Every structure is written in structure tokens, then in C-alpha cells.
Amino acid sequence: MSIRSLIAASRSRHALAAATISQATSRAHQHACVPPLLSGLGPLARAFSSSAAVADVNSGVRVMEGQILPNVYSKGYSTLLAPANEALIPPELLSSKTVWTPDRELGQYEDLVARVTNFHNEDNGFMVLDGDVFDVPIRKDIVHRVVRWQLAKRQQGTHSTKTISEVSGTGRKPYKQKGTGRARHGTLRGCQFRGGATMHGPKPRSHAFKLQKKVRRLGLKIALSARTAEGKLCIFEDLEVPSHKTKNIVQYIKQMDDTKKVLLVDGGDIDKKLKLATKNLHYVNVIPSIGLNVYSILQHDTLVMTRDAINRIVERMHTPISR
């Protein structure tokens, strides 16, 4: 087949696809249909949502399986309302995994209503989460700065090397200045000799650096908002356990969905029975609300907080910064 015939065939396929999309657009506007939800914001989702090529299921206009769409590419997105026998988008462009789409826009500083439970999954009412603490826009740069500040501040900085005045050894000149044919030396404790000193080596110091309080406070708000948006923030009435047995905590954690590592946050002092029950579990950690920090939140995929802990955190976030 010649090059001209290949170009003509390609143009005809593109024209057929364009006609199909325009027909779907006209019928979609005629029936006043709403495009189905597309999970993700990739090029494919933007193309279909903007051109209204995805019509209502009742309108009878669908892009059939196997039909080629021009200049449309997607990776890792799929529809939520696709029928079983017919696909709104060609199946070769979709992944088998359905991605959850939030029903609202995140980071709008809106107050949230959350369900309050306990270890036995009993209903204990509801609680309002302040939007300026649990619904702030996600900024990775702020979280990165806070984590670096935390890790640098907790470094021990006990590294130390010996200078030429600290190395043990004689201060005598090893041999005379001239006549030996060797390089001139005045001591055997220099850095060029075995067992000698270390030049420009590390000395005990602090690796901490300053970070503004408002940035540190914003980092904690972002971490809390991220766990809330993921649905990984659980609110308990309290953290009371019947006994200090570890098997009770193991059973409670197994009841949680998709939980690998849990951080329990209580308002005041940690209960002695809870501390003993979680002491032997590497995937469960308990801290008071005063010790809640960004790095600990990021290390655990599930965050469990009590009412008292949330109230104390919100009060701490609303306290004016002392300058």
C-alpha cells in the first residue's frame, strides 16, 4: 500500500471519529444529559468532560468498544458508571481499578461533621471538625520543610574526631631536618601518618535550624487535612480498653479497613493499660496530643484521635503565635 493511501485511510478514520463525537455532543445537549463522573483529572477525563462526548445512558449515544478516538490518551483512570457490556471509553484505555472520586472540592476551609465511635465500633454521636484545621489546601512543600526541620532537630550531633592536639603521641621531631633525603616533618601526629589526627573532621554540634512557627503550625494542619481527606481519620470517644492484653488491640486493629500502621492520639496522659497493650506491637503507637507532629502522622496510614485530643489540637491551632 502506498503512502498516499495510508494517509487517506488515516484521515477517513479521524473523520469518522470526529463525526461520532459531534453526534454525541448534539444529542447530549438535546437530552440535557449530565456526563458521568470520571475519576482523575487526566487528559482523557478533560477531553470527555469538556466536549460532552460522554452522553447520558438513557440517550442511547455511546462510544462503542473498540472504536478509535483521535488524540486521546489516558493512564490509570476509569469511569464509575460504565455498563458491563458497553464501555463509555474504549477498554484498552482504561484500567481495571476504580478510583474513588470525592463528592466535594477539598481544601475549602469548610467545617466537617464526623462520626464518633470507639474500639467496639459503637455509635457515640457526631463531632464538628474545624475547617481551618482539618480542611486546608494540601501543600507538599510545607510538609517537606517541616519534616526536614524535625529530622534535623532530633539529630544527636555527637560525632567527633581528634585534632592534632588531641591525638596521643610524642611531640618529638622524628628525624633531623636535612641530610636524610626524606620529606621534612616535625611530628608523627599529623594527618598524613597512620594513627594521626583528622583534619577538618566533624565535631559535636547541633544540626537544628530555625523554622517559623506559622509554617510549623501550617504543616500540622496540612497533615491532619490529608488524613481527613483520605478517610483515614477516626474519632473515638475515648481509648479505654478492658485489660492490658495485647490480643485485644490486635483484634480491634483487624476490624479497621486497609490499616497497616495506626497512631493513637489521646488528649491527656496515656492510660497505663493501653500503654502495656500496645507496647509489643510495632505497628501501633500511642502519643498524647501535645506530642502530635507531622512526621508521626506521615509514618502511620491511620490516625485515631479522641474528642479531647481534637479539642486540644484545635485550641492549640487557634492560640495566637507569641512573637
Instruction: Report residue 171 as a C-alpha cell.
Output: 611531640
Helix, strand, or coil here: 84? coil
Q: Is the dihedral of CA 87, 92, 98, 103 positive or negative?
A: negative
Q: Which residues pair with 231 in a beta bridge?
A: none
pLDDT at residue 18 tops 80:
no
pLDDT of 15 over the 80 cut: no
Q: Is there a single domain that holds both residue 250 and residue 305? A: yes
Instruction: Flag whether the pTM goes above 0.75.
Output: no
Shared domain for 200 and 142, answered yes or no, is no
- Quick one: 164 and 218 in the same domain? no
Indicate whether 121 and 270 sit together in one domain.
yes
**302 has which bridge partners?**
262
167 φψ region: left (φ > 0), alpha (ψ -120 to 50), beta (else):
beta
* Helix, coil or strand: residue 235: strand
Are 188 and 249 found together in one domain? Answer: no
What residue numbers bound the domain in which 190 lies? Answer: 157-205
The pLDDT, as a whole number, for residue 227 is: 93
Domain count, the chain: 2
Evaluate whether residue 64 is within a structural domain.
no
Query: Is the domain of 222 the same as that of 268?
Result: yes
Q: Are residues 178 and 269 both part of a single domain?
A: no
Identify whether residues 289 and 266 lie together within a single domain: yes
Instruction: Tell me the pLDDT tens digit for each residue of 186-223.
Output: 999 999 999 999 999 999 999 999 999 999 999 999 99
259 in the same domain as 145: yes
262 and 241 in a common domain: yes
The residue from 184, 205, 226 where one domain ends is 205
CA distances from 151 to 208, 300, 304 (A): 9, 16, 23
Helices (H), the chain: 3-30, 43-51, 131-134, 140-153, 213-229, 246-255, 272-278, 294-299, 307-318
